[in-house]
């Protein structure tokens, strides 16, 4: 009888020790991941692919990008200046931001590309066009973020069925 009481006491003690850990694991897995918050302004490199006019394989250049995160909403207003050769694309977009890890977001959105010199090849073609964008951003320090995204211009090349795509990478100051 002593053995049975001792076994029962150990079983109850084990349950009391293990139960809180098991019960708290369920609620932790249901919590949403908080991605990167705040706004930033930065710069980096741009490569334009697929929408060239002529014999160029790619357009290399730079970019200046910014993000204004709307408070209390997973929406951001973004702006980019894609600088390649003799043309600049000014690209305002609205994105939906999804936190996938602490201080890291992926985002999807759309906007419009304004070519400053229509008819001249740029990262997003040679004319104004609607743009789809997808990207990732992460805070690597309190005031430093890294970003990378892809922009696709719909009907960005005049008199052609080519689809211009630009890839951006850069670093930014967070505020």
pLDDT digits 0-9 by tens, 40-54: 999 999 999 876 655
Choice between 136 and 22, residue whose per-residue pLDDT is larger: 136
Q: What's residue 164's pLDDT? A: 94
Q: Given this model, what pLDDT does residue 24 score?
A: 43
| Two tokens, residue 71 | 């408070």
pLDDT confidence tier of residue 118, bands split at 50, 70 and 90:
confident
pLDDT single digits (tens) 124-152: 999 999 999 999 999 999 999 999 999 99
Q: Give the C-alpha separation, 90 to 63, whole Å.
A: 10
| Cβ-proximal residues to 110 (8 Å cutoff; 6+ apart), any chain | 93, 94, 130, 131, 132, 133
Q: Which residue has the higher pLDDT, 18 or 165?
A: 165
**CA angle, residues 116, 158, 52, in degrees to nearest 5:** 80
- Does the CA dihedral 54-57-59-60 come out positive or negative? negative
Q: What share of the chain is helix, strand, coil (3-state, %, to 5)?
A: 15, 55, 30
- The pLDDT value given to residue 10: 53
What digits encode the pLDDT tens for the residues 54-105? 555 678 999 999 999 999 999 999 999 999 988 999 999 999 999 999 999 9
Map tokens 């909403």 to a residue.
Answer: 73
Task: Give me the pLDDT at residue 138, please.
Answer: 98
Which spans in the chain are helix H? 2-29
8 A C-beta contact, residue 78 and residue 108: no
Torsion of CA 67, 90, 133, 150, to 10 degrees: -100
Joined together, the tokens standing for residue 98 give: 């999804």
Q: For residues 132 and 166, what is the distance between their CA atoms, to the nearest angstrom?
A: 11
Lowest model confidence (mean pLDDT) among 12-26, 33-47, 106-120, 150-164: 12-26
């Amino acid at each position: 009888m002593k053995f049975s009481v001792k076994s029962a006491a150990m079983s109850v003690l084990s349950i009391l020790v293990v139960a809180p850990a098991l019960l708290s694991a369920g609620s932790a897995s249901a919590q949403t991941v908080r991605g990167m918050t705040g706004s930033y302004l930065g710069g980096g490199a741009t490569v334009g692919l697929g929408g060239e006019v002529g014999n160029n394989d790619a357009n290399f250049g730079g970019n200046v990008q910014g993000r204004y995160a709307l408070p209390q909403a997973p929406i951001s207003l973004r702006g980019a200046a894609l600088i390649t050769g003799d043309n600049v694309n000014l690209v305002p977009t609205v994105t939906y931001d999804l936190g996938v890890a602490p201080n890291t977001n992926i985002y999807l959105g759309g906007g419009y590309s304004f070519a400053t010199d229509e008819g001249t090849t740029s990262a997003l073609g040679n004319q104004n066009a609607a743009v789809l964008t997808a990207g990732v951003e992460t805070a690597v320090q309190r005031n430093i973020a890294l970003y990378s995204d892809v922009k696709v211009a719909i009907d960005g090349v005049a008199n052609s069925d080519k689809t211009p795509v630009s890839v951006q990478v850069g670093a930014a100051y967070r505020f």
